[in-house]
Each structure stands twice: as structure tokens, then as C-alpha cells.
Amino acid sequence: MDKILVHGGHSLNGSVRISGSKNSALPILAATLLTREPCTISNVPDLSDIHYMLQILSHLGAQVERASGVVRVEAEKIKTVAPYDIVRKMRASVCVLGPLLGREKEATVSLPGGCVIGDRPIDLHLKGFEALGAVSRIEHGNVKVFAGTLRGTTVNLRGKQGPTVLGTDNVIMAAVLAEGTTIIESAAAEPEVVDLANFLNKMGAKIEGAGSRRIVIEGVKELHGAEHTVIPDRIEAGTFLVAGAMMGGEVTLRRVTHEHLGSVIDAVRLAGYEVETSAGSIRVRGNGAPKPLQLTTEPYPGFPTDMQAQMCALLAQTNGISVISETIFPQRYMHVSELKRMGADISLDGHTAIIKGVEKLSGAPVMASDLRASAALVLAGLRAEGVTEVNRVYHIDRGYESIDEKLNQLGARIERVKA
């Protein structure tokens, strides 16, 4: 198992290329199961979660080829059972339920694993499937769904913390081959949902309204193969935006869609940093006198929960008192205790973090608990005095392509060593 050693105090300058979106690539790869014809997906990031998804597709019978960010999938004949030993490491594996149900009218998938950031049930996924006419049950740790026929319907996917992104993806993929018209109310509006819908439309689906709270899907009899390029990863971009703000210098993000980062760019600007956007790039400049913030995580286009931990790292050394309220995953604060080991002054009041800026952080051994928490600890280590030892970096490898190498190219000093 690897660990990362971050030597603090090195400013960042230069440009960095943003990889393809993990949260787009995973459901898009799953959607290739909806057709017997080959599909080619480009700009697929080199991540452990992607490796797991390709293993699942192969187990289900698809022929998978991968080279230099391009994945070709041909699922002429497929199985409908994905067992625990291949889905346990990644929650997004649940998104094969929709395409398997849509194409084969049945699926059995083990309840998945992933990050420990609080309860993330799949009840809304099942609600959508059942509205289409499927029957679902959970037995021996497996989710089983099956239907004689799927028929279009109207279903509301709003949950207690807002719309469900993977649930929206799953219901869309099940509905594209259903009879009649399906209307999803309170749909997730994230760019990753739009990216999936664009791919499915290239395959011959008829989907309108993706990116809004109301998506209309007219079922078709079959889908064909297609080629598609995955959108840039807005969370990776946001992470490097925060890193550039903390440690700039001047950092430019290349191959990025700044329209997908509006709330993050606004937050960084409100904190006193200079951010410039242009077609395909974002530039951020450091500031010696940043300002405290009040932030609340919200469904897109609000401030993303996946950027909450990184902002905690930024605000930990910002003069004054900042407040972050986490409304999507209220328990998503496991990074706080680790930041406090580095000298941060953060207290929790329910789902709210109260951050009193300190003059400096000091390097310490810390433990990554989830994907975004691990990124926050690396960012904090960039500013800390001495060396920060980040353990369990397999979390960060789930969602960041070569983050240590990219930061080193900007001037950081990071080592990856065997634990």
C-alpha cells in the first residue's frame, strides 16, 4: 500500500491538464451494455474506479479494450449478475443495474462499497425501477430487479438531501428501452447527467431536458453503437483551483469547462483570489490576504459537496472565522480530525463546520478516510511546515489521475512511497 509524503512550503506555478470526469465516465461505460454494437469512449481517466468498472463489464461478458485514454466496449452477449467480489470496492458499480434491467429486463448486483461519507441508500434507484414496472428485492446482500415489460411513467426522484445523481442516471438508462414516455421529476441536473444523456442520444435514445429538473425520455426499441468524449472533471479542476489559490503563484487549468465550476469559482473569488476564465481554461492567482467565507453545499448548480473538504483546507489558514454547512452528506467531516492533527482550529456543530483560521499548519502523519478528504489533506500538506504523511492513498487514486505528478509539475514536492 502506498503513502504520499508532501513537503510543504513550495509555491505552485504553471499549467495543468484536467482529466476526463470520473463521475461521467462510470455511468457512460455502464451504458455501453445497452447495445450489442461496439462503443468507443475517449478521455477516460486512468483511475482505480475506472479499472473496477472495466472489470465489471468484462465479468458481465463485454469485450473491453483500453489504450491511451480510449476504451472500446462491445457487449454482444451479456450476463446479468455482478457479484460482491467485483463490486464491493466501488459504489458507482450500482449504475449497471439500469442498463441490465433496460436491456435484459433483469439484474442482480451486490450492494456496493466505496467511500465512508455517510448513508447513501439506493432506495430512489429502486423507486424509479418499480415505477417503470420492475419488481425489486434485496437478498443476501444482493439487489435483484426484474420485469416482464418496462413501461414509461412519471417518477419523482427527490430525496431528503436533494436529487440523486446516480439514481437519475440509472432510471434514464432503464427507461431508454422502455415502452412509451418516461418523465423524471426532481432529476439531478449535474453536468455528468447531461454527458450521459448526450452519449445515449448518440446511441439513438430520445432524451430531452437533461440538465434541468425535468427529463423526458421517449423509449426506443434498440440502441446502436456510438463514439463519445467524456467531459473534463469539474471536481479535479476545482481541487487544482483551490491548490493554486493556496500556493500561487499563478496556476492555469487547461482542458476544463469553466461553466461547470461557477459556484466554486465564485467561492474562490469571494475568498479574495483572482480567477480568470476563458474558453477551455481557468487561471488563478494567489493572494496574501484571503477572506473568510460562509458556504453551504447544495445540489448543482450550488456549491458541490465534493469540494467541501478542499475548501476546509483552504479556509483553515484564512484569517477570521469561516462556516461551512454540509447539507448533502451531513456526516462528511472525517477529514476534520486529521486537519486538526496538523494544527487546524475546526469545530463541528451538527452538519456545520466552524473554521477559525490559524497562522500555520504543521506536517503530521494523517489518514485519508475517503476520496475528497484525501485530496484535502494533500492540499493542507502543501501549506504546512515540514512533511505531511498521507496514508491510505488508494482513496485518492480512485478519483484523481496522477495528482502527485501533476502537483510536482507545478512546483510541489511530493513523494509516493511504499507504506
Q: Which residues are catalytic?
A: 115
Which among 104, 250, 230 has a CA at the least distance from the CA of 177?
Answer: 104
Which among 173, 187, 92 has a CA at the least distance from the CA of 129?
Answer: 173
DSSP assigned state of 384: S
Which among 67, 60, 128, 139 has a CA at the least distance from the CA of 100?
Answer: 60
Which among 190, 240, 231, 232 has a CA at the least distance from the CA of 375?
Answer: 240
What count of Cα atoms within 13 Å lies in the side-chain half-sphere of residue 145? Answer: 35
CA-CA distance, 273 to 289, in Å (whole number)? Answer: 9
| Cα three-residue angle 394-301-231, rounded to 5 degrees | 55
User: In Å, how far from its chain's centre is CA 197?
Assistant: 17
- Read off the C-alpha cell for 380: 493542507
The DSSP result for 300-342, as a single string, is TTSB-GGGHHHHHHHHTTSSSEEEEE--SSTT--HHHHHHHHT
**Helices 165-175/123-131 angle, 10° precision:** 20
- Read off the C-alpha cell for 396: 485518492
> What backbone torsions phi and psi does residue 368 show, to the nearest 5 degrees?
-75, 130
Query: By the 8 A CB rule, do 2 and 394 touch?
Result: yes
Name the CA dihedral angle for 299, 349, 377, 375, rounded to a multiple of 10 degrees.
-10
Beta strands 227-229 and 39-42, pairing class: parallel
**Distance set, CA 48 to CA 58, 339, 388, 393, 395 (Å):** 15, 25, 23, 11, 9
Query: By the 8 A CB rule, do 183 and 156 touch?
Result: no
